[in-house]
């Protein structure tokens, strides 16, 4: 999907994936959303802005192919094209990795905006993985973005930080962000031990773009360096694909959180065999 740019040229869309709090699944969401969009035929570049604590390359299994990184591009040590890693599994997918030896201040929001603008000329979607926190790293990540996705988990602390981030994003040009609720455990929600989707939406008052169930497969696949969406059965994988479809403008209903159990499973449970 391309939007008409200034002067009649087609440009892609920069989407920043952010959360405020760490460990809620920004990198996982970036990796899976980027891959899902690529699988749907979009030309996608993922940008890791977590300088000093880069992870996106690891989750994508592309760590050993890094030669140049984001800071090299910003400092002019290499051309942008040289730093891009083309994912051989998906022809539409590239990664611009973060530097591991520098820190967040090694790059400025202006440099970042310039790089993202260049990438948007070539790609349909530029998925920007934001570091945790609200300092320079956050400002860098937001600098070139047109849209924002805020990731939260159904925990009070994560929702609080998401609220803070939404407040900060309102002042940026990305405007009202969209919300992804990650790692929802249906049995805890049912027992009232976890915030439910309604509670979170009531508080944050932004549009929901997806709910991702807690799924062991996500951890397994991240450890193998294969994004979860490559698997067709896992529930998290379906949820991520649905988010990508919604971003592309499709109206996809939210899937039920409760896993449907087969007759055999129900029988087993009835007889206590589990």
Partner 1 sequence: MVSVEVKPVTTVKSKVTIKGTKEGLVFFMDDTCSFDELLADLREKIEHSHQQILSGPLIRVSIKLGKRYCTPEQQEELTKIIRQKGNLVIHLVEADVITKEEAFAERLKSQFHVQVHTVRSGQVLESDGDILLLGDVNPGGTIRSTGNIYVLGHLRGYAHAGISGDTEAIIAAAVMNPTQLRIAEVVSKPGEEWTQNSGGTEFAYLENETMLVAKMNYLSRIRPELGETKA
**Smallest distance, partner 1 to C-beta of residue 142, A:** 16
Residue with smaller CB distance to partner 1, 114 or 196: 196
Is 160 a binding residue for partner 1 by CB under 8 A? The answer is yes
The secondary structure of residue 130, as a DSSP letter, is P
**Alpha carbons 168 and 111: distance in angstroms, whole number:** 20
**Smallest distance, partner 1 to C-beta of residue 20, A:** 9
User: What are the beta bridge partners of residue 16?
Assistant: 128, 148
Q: What are phi and psi of 85, to 5 degrees?
A: -105, 120
HSE (side-chain half, CA atoms, 13 Å) at 135: 8
**Alpha carbons 266 and 263: distance in angstroms, whole number:** 5
Hunting for tokens 């990198």 — which residue is that? Answer: 27
**Listed ranges 137-145, 156-164, 246-254, 259-267: which one lies at the site for partner 1 (CB under 8 A):** 156-164
**Smallest distance, partner 1 to C-beta of residue 135, A:** 13
**Alpha carbons 44 and 34: distance in angstroms, whole number:** 6
**Smallest distance, partner 1 to C-beta of residue 55, A:** 26
- Tell me the C-alpha to C-alpha distance, in Å, between residue 158 and each of 19, 26, 130, 132, 208: 8, 12, 15, 11, 16
**Listed ranges 3-11, 27-35, 106-114, 160-168: which one lies at the site for partner 1 (CB under 8 A):** 160-168
**Smallest distance, partner 1 to C-beta of residue 120, A:** 29
Is 161 a binding residue for partner 1 by CB under 8 A? The answer is yes
Residue with smaller CB distance to partner 1, 1 or 205: 205
Is 167 a binding residue for partner 1 by CB under 8 A? The answer is yes
Is 164 a binding residue for partner 1 by CB under 8 A? The answer is yes
Residue with smaller CB distance to partner 1, 121 or 164: 164
**Smallest distance, partner 1 to C-beta of residue 166, A:** 6
Among 163, 172, 199, 226, binds partner 1 (CB under 8 A): 163
* Helix ranges (DSSP H) in the chain: 26-39, 56-59, 70-75, 80-83, 109-122, 136-143, 156-170, 186-190, 197-204, 216-224, 235-247, 263-270
Residue with smaller CB distance to partner 1, 160 or 246: 160
Residues 187-246 that bind partner 1 (CB under 8 A): 202-205
**Alpha carbons 124 and 110: distance in angstroms, whole number:** 21
**Listed ranges 23-31, 84-92, 96-104, 158-166: which one lies at the site for partner 1 (CB under 8 A):** 158-166
Binding site for partner 1 (CB under 8 A): 160-161, 163-164, 166-168, 170, 202-205
């Amino acid at each position: 999907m391309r939007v008409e740019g200034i002067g009649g040229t087609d440009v892609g869309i920069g989407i920043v994936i952010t959360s405020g709090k760490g460990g809620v699944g920004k990198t996982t969401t970036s990796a899976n959303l980027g891959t899902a969009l690529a699988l749907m035929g979009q030309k996608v570049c993922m940008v890791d802005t977590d300088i000093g604590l880069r992870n996106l390359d690891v989750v994508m299994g592309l760590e050993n192919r890094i030669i140049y990184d984001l800071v090299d591009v910003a400092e002019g040590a290499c051309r942008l094209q040289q730093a891009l890693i083309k994912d051989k599994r998906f022809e539409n997918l590239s990664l611009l990795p973060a530097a591991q030896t520098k820190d967040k201040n090694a790059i400025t929001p202006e440099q970042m905006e310039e790089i993202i603008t260049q990438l948007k000329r070539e790609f349909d979607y530029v998925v920007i993985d934001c570091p945790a926190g609200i300092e320079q790293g956050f400002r860098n990540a937001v600098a070139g973005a047109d849209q924002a996705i805020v990731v939260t988990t159904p925990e009070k602390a994560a929702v609080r930080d998401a609220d803070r981030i939404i407040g900060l994003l309102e002042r940026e040009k990305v405007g009202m962000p969209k919300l992804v609720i990650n790692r929802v455990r249906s049995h805890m929600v049912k027992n009232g031990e976890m915030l439910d989707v309604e509670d979170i939406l009531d508080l944050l008052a932004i549009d929901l773009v997806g709910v991702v169930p807690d799924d062991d497969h996500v951890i397994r696949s991240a450890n193998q360096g294969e994004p979860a969406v490559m698997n067709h059965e896992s529930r998290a994988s379906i949820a991520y694909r649905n988010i990508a479809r919604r971003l592309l403008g499709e109206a996809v209903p939210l899937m039920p959180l409760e896993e449907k159990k087969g007759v055999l499973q129900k029988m087993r449970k009835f007889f206590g065999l589990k």
